[in-house]
Amino acid sequence: MTAITANELFQKVRQVDKERYAALVALVILTVISSFLSEYFLQWQNLLNILRQVSYTGIIALGMTFVIISGGIDLSVGSMAAFVGSLGILALNALAGRSQPLAVAVAMAVALGSGLACGLANGLLITKGRIAPFIVTLGTMAIFRSLSLYMKDAGEFRSESSLFGSLGSSAPGRIPVPVIVMVALAAALSFVLRRTRYGRYVRAVGSNARVARYSAIDVDRTRLIAYTLTGLLVGVSAILIAMRFNSVGTSTVGINYELDAIAAVIIGGTSMAGGRGTIWGTIIGAITLGVINNMLNMVGISTYLQGTVKGLVIIGAVFIQRQRQ
Amino acid sequence: MAEPFVRVRGLGKEFGGHAVLRDVDAEIRPGEIVGLIGENGAGKSTFMKILAGIHEPTAGQVYIEGQPVAFRSPSDARRAGISIVPQEFNLASDLTVEENVFLGAELLGAGRTLDLARMRSRTAELLAQLGANVGPADRIDRLSAAQKQLVEVSKALAFDAKLLILDEPTTMLTVVEIERLFALMRSLRERGMGLVYVSHKLAEVKTICDRVIVLKDGDKVREAAIAEIEPPEMARCMVGRELREIYPPKRAASGPLVLEVEGLSSPGAFTDVSLTVRAGEILGLAGLVGAGRTEVAEALMGLRPSTGVVRVTGRDARAHSASAAVRRGLGYLSEDRQGSGVVTAMGVAENMTLVSLPRYCSVPFVVDRARERQAAQTWRDRFDIKVRDLEAPLESLSGGNQQKVSLAKTLDPGPQVVIVDEPTRGVDVAAKQEIYRFLAQLAGKGAAVLLISSELEEIIGMSDRVVVMREGRVAGELPASALGEHEIMYLATGLEKTSAT
């Protein structure tokens, strides 16, 4: 009897854990290789640097995880980041003369609020307008970018608040603020995905929307919340970027963020077809992308070639997942 | 007697160590129609999938005109002269009839381009032969089920099939269309073609076949010339016991009215449907495919817009969303288990609580997994669902066990009105019997059960009363004392059934 259970346990470890920890194992291997390639790699400062660099797209990727598990996609997040970041700086500068703390608070509220509104707009067009997510967000991607460029003639919104910029470079306990935000949000959203009713509904909707509808689940609302959440997280990310540079470049901020966010989600083991995925997988996916960039920089490979490596990693990750099924 | 076109000796097939077909000997001659019958899971579809080159046998040998063959793919089988008309049509719905007929085997002209003219004329010729009122350039998604079936037959005939396998060809057809199909089958037989007719409609088998082969649990249990075997005998061979036994005894239901439907209509689906179900009663809702029965269920569940009056225990219960219907005490077991019943990628427990999840949330929105697990265990024990791990994804379960999970999902919110739509589709006979028992128990505890089924035996065996629908309207109602296949079919078709028995 015990022999059977031991055998079963072994089987289970082989099946489940491979799937769940494949991305983590890949990341560990990558880290080991990197530490051999460069002696600086494992230094605390470098590791924190990687985490900070990935946190801006990582935060967005958390929302993208919900969207993709629900069976959708959001291409507009990069442009949206530039758009809501610009609005945030506009609000900041309008009030910076009077009270800096108030200005910063209002800028944050504006960025989060407009992010939420943009996400809500995406979600409403998709659910009430019955338009495919790819099409809707392709359209809003163009709209958000174009509006940002128009507002400043493709230039840069500079912050007039010193407090704003100093918040961006603050690092309590040496850990940069964006990293703390990303980890806290990941913990909260992982709980939402795994343990709440909403998380269960997201997986059911992505797995089979018809079954979900027949099971008295409000499919439209489930999807709408996923896009709105993503918009809100874009707002969080945008304000952190704006603080970091103390400005928002309308033609530079958020470029290719949608690709990095989607890549992080996919490398993290979330199924592009929906229904399946984890938040921690996405975090690992985001860090993997960061480690690759960092390693290639240290080894001195041309920045132009880094995209090739990233592309190969994305395709490879999905290929391995396909083999496993 | 003609030499057999196909002969199989000792044919066997295992899936993952489980034998689904064992040591079957059979032959099919040119110019005969062989009926292949058996319960779900008896091995019918495995047998024909081996002949059609979809599965490879794990034991035994197939001979074509005396020569041993080993098909590696459906196109191997097609080249050898075996074609299949599948139950689920295998047609690309955006393409035209002619494109489908030659799909994967297009005729090529000079320079390896498509020979459109030849394909069109050949398709037209085939369609004319079959008496199909379909044009070669019609798109598949505009065709009726019967027309699609004729396209499948044309596809088979385009390649000079010598053996045509028809898998449950009449489930989607009206009585008139069935007659036309049988006439076509007879004319193909006259031309020397061999036909295999897979069905569980025994009266039809008796009408059309020359010989019948009965499979049960993977074994061939009977083979007889059609003159020597009557439908009751066929049923006994298939099930291995008297059919009556599988239905629980009926109860006299005299409880108060629970479900009242008056003048319910849904544009394009059904009109002016009225019916009532009492507490403890099982009301059968019969009719042909397309009569609007499932649509009525969907309207009651708020999945389809409707007008009219719906009351549950006297209170207004016309729902605009499924969640509203569930709140008002309605539960629905969908006919399409994989398509709208269960999430196959999710676990057993997660599926069972999908409808009732709000009740398992302790802190708002947070699922109390211990309580959920407890409920899932209760259902597993009550329905004897064979699964050890409640987290196991549903796709790892058999059809019968999946159906029990789907039923548990429907019943977990504790509905007063339970609508079950084809509750035993695709499950084996043992699970069937258990599901019948659960439904009877449910009624015994005072639920109002609305049973939608296309299996007349099931409707007659289970229902206390039957409402028959035809073309979106209620055609009539039959009390328990007047329940019979003939009476139901008369109402369902509007015609006296003269030829099918």
Render each residue's pLDDT in chain A as its tens digit; 325 residues: 445 566 666 655 555 555 567 788 888 988 999 999 888 899 999 999 999 999 999 999 999 999 999 999 999 999 999 999 999 999 999 998 889 999 999 999 999 999 999 999 999 999 999 999 999 999 999 999 999 999 999 999 999 998 998 988 888 888 999 999 999 999 999 999 999 999 999 999 999 999 999 999 999 999 999 999 999 999 999 999 999 999 999 999 999 999 999 999 999 989 888 999 999 999 999 999 999 999 988 888 888 888 898 888 888 877 877 765 5
Instruction: Give the least confident one: A84-98, B180-194, B234-248.
Output: B234-248
Nearest to B131 by CA among B116, B146, B113: B146
The set of residues, in sequence order, having a beta carbon less than 8 Å from that of A266 and lying 6+ positions away, is A68, A272, A285, A314, A317, A318
> What is the Cα–Cα distance from B8 to B448, expressed in whole angstroms?
50
Please answer whether residues B159 and B182 qualify as being in contact, where contact means their C-beta atoms are separated by less than 8 angstroms: no
Interface test with B, best of A211, A217, A222 (most B CBs within 10 A): A211
Put simply, whether A207 touches B (Cβ < 8 Å) is yes
Put simply, whether B339 touches A (Cβ < 8 Å) is yes
Cβ separation B409–A214 shorter than 8 A: no
Q: Is the dihedral of CA A198, A199, A201, A205 positive or negative?
A: positive
Nearest to B81 by CA among B11, B175, B165: B165
> What is the Cα–Cα distance from A162 to A27, expressed in whole angstroms?
38
Q: How confident is the model at residue B241 (pLDDT cuts 50, 70, 90)?
A: low
Tokens 């938040």 locate to A279
| pTM, rounded to two decimals | 0.81
Q: Is the dihedral of CA A200, B330, B432, B34 positive or negative?
A: negative
Which amino acid appears at position A77 of this protein? Answer: V
Q: DSSP letters of B246-294?
A: GSPPP------EEEEEEEEEETTTEEEEEEEEETT-EEEEEE-TTSSHH
B142 pLDDT higher than 60: yes
pLDDT at A18: 57
Cβ separation A215–B369 shorter than 8 A: no
Six-digit token string for A75: 């291409």
Cβ separation A200–B321 shorter than 8 A: no
Nearest to B44 by CA among B234, B236, B199: B199
**ipTM of the predicted structure?**
0.85
Which amino acid appears at position A72 of this protein? Answer: G
Nearest to A84 by CA among A115, A123, A120: A115
The set of residues, in sequence order, having a beta carbon less than 8 Å from that of A55 and lying 6+ positions away, is A176, A178, A179, A181, A182, A240, A286
Residue contacts between A and B (CB atoms, under 8 Å): 72
pLDDT at A4: 55
Please answer whether residues A13 and A253 qualify as being in contact, where contact means their C-beta atoms are separated by less than 8 angstroms: no
Q: How confident is the model at residue B501 (pLDDT cuts 50, 70, 90)?
A: very low
Cβ separation B323–A207 shorter than 8 A: no
Which amino acid appears at position B375 of this protein? Answer: A
Nearest to B476 by CA among B500, B452, B494: B494
> What is the Cα–Cα distance from A189 to B342, expressed in whole angstroms?
26
Domain parsing of chain A, residue ranges: 23-324
Nearest to A265 by CA among A35, A23, A42: A23
Collapsing DSSP to helix, strand or coil, A267 comes out as helix
Instruction: Give the least confident one: A59-73, B392-406, B460-474.
Output: B392-406
In angstroms, the Cα distances linking B310 to A213, B332, B411, B413, B416 are: 21, 15, 20, 20, 14
Collapsing DSSP to helix, strand or coil, B335 comes out as coil
B499 pLDDT higher than 50: no
CATH code for residues A23-324: 1.10.3470
Chain A residues within an 8 Å CB radius of B365:
196-198
Interface test with A, best of B354, B369, B373 (most A CBs within 10 A): B354
B440 pLDDT higher than 60: yes
Q: How confident is the model at residue B500 (pLDDT cuts 50, 70, 90)?
A: very low
> What is the Cα–Cα distance from B64 to B4, expressed in whole angstroms?
8
Please answer whether residues B304 and B266 qualify as being in contact, where contact means their C-beta atoms are separated by less than 8 angstroms: yes
Partners of B283 in beta bridges: B450, B465
- Selecting from 3.30.390.10, 3.40.50.300, 3.30.70.2190, 3.40.50.80, what CATH number does the domain B6-245 have? 3.40.50.300
> What is the Cα–Cα distance from A322 to A324, expressed in whole angstroms?
5
Nearest to B48 by CA among B6, B17, B18, B19: B6
Cβ separation B357–A210 shorter than 8 A: no
pLDDT at A20: 65
Closest in B340, B345, B361 to A276, CB measured? B345
Range list for CATH 3.40.50.300 in chain B: 6-245, 272-493
Residue A64 CB burial class (10 angstroms; 0-12, 13-18, ≥19):
buried
> What residue in B sits closest to A209 (Cα-Cα)?
B340
pLDDT at A252: 95
Other beta carbons less than 10 A from residue B48's beta carbon? 20
Nearest to A62 by CA among A312, A318, A321, A257: A257
Put simply, whether A214 touches B (Cβ < 8 Å) is yes
pLDDT tens column, B420-430: 999 988 777 77
* CATH class of residue range B272-493: alpha beta
- DSSP H stretches of helix in B160-262: 175-190, 202-208, 231-239
Please answer whether residues B56 and B70 qualify as being in contact, where contact means their C-beta atoms are separated by less than 8 angstroms: yes
- The H or E element containing residue B68 is strand B67-69
Residue A62 CB burial class (10 angstroms; 0-12, 13-18, ≥19):
buried
Cβ separation B303–A213 shorter than 8 A: yes
Put simply, whether B332 touches A (Cβ < 8 Å) is yes
pLDDT at B243: 53
Put simply, whether A211 touches B (Cβ < 8 Å) is yes
Instruction: Tell how far CA B364 is from the center of its chain.
Output: 41
Cβ separation B369–A211 shorter than 8 A: no
> What residue in A sits closest to B346 (Cα-Cα)?
A204
Put simply, whether B301 touches A (Cβ < 8 Å) is yes
pLDDT at B234: 86
Put simply, whether B366 touches A (Cβ < 8 Å) is yes
Chain B residues within an 8 Å CB radius of A216:
321-323, 325-326, 355
Strands (E), chain A: 156-158, 247-249
Put simply, whether A1 touches B (Cβ < 8 Å) is no
Put simply, whether B331 touches A (Cβ < 8 Å) is no
> What is the Cα–Cα distance from B198 to B297, expressed in whole angstroms?
30
Collapsing DSSP to helix, strand or coil, B93 comes out as coil
pLDDT tens column, B310-333: 999 999 999 999 999 999 999 999
B283 pLDDT higher than 80: yes
- The H or E element containing residue B381 is helix B369-383
> What is the Cα–Cα distance from A70 to A65, expressed in whole angstroms?
8
Number of residues in chain B: 501
Collapsing DSSP to helix, strand or coil, B325 comes out as helix
In angstroms, the Cα distances linking B365 to A35, B402, B410 are: 44, 27, 21
Nearest to B469 by CA among B231, B299, B315, B324: B299
Other beta carbons less than 10 A from residue B190's beta carbon? 9
Instruction: Give the least confident one: B138-147, B255-264, B372-381.
Output: B138-147
Q: How confident is the model at residue B93 (pLDDT cuts 50, 70, 90)?
A: confident
Cβ separation A214–B332 shorter than 8 A: yes
Chain A residues within an 8 Å CB radius of B350:
200
pLDDT at B406: 96
> What is the Cα–Cα distance from A54 to B339, expressed in whole angstroms?
39
**Side-chain half-sphere exposure of A194, counting CA atoms within 13 A:** 10
Higher pLDDT, B200 or B139: B139
Please answer whether residues B21 and B56 qualify as being in contact, where contact means their C-beta atoms are separated by less than 8 angstroms: no
Tell me how close the Cα of A275 comes to any Cα of chain B, in angstroms.
8
Cβ separation B322–A215 shorter than 8 A: yes
Query: What radius of gyration do chain B's Cα atoms show?
Result: 24
Cβ separation B357–A203 shorter than 8 A: no
The set of residues, in sequence order, having a beta carbon less than 8 Å from that of B286 and lying 6+ positions away, is B293, B453, B454, B456, B459, B466, B467, B468, B469, B488, B491, B492
Please, which residues 114-143 of chain B have a Cβ atom closer than 8 Å to chain A?
Answer: none
pLDDT tens column, B94-117: 999 999 998 877 888 888 888 889
Chain B residues within an 8 Å CB radius of A218:
321, 323
Put simply, whether B342 touches A (Cβ < 8 Å) is yes
pLDDT at B311: 96
Instruction: Tell how far CA B265 is from the center of its chain.
Output: 26
The bridge status of strand B67-69 relative to strand B257-266 is unpaired
Closest in B322, B341, B346 to A204, CB measured? B346
B153 pLDDT higher than 70: yes
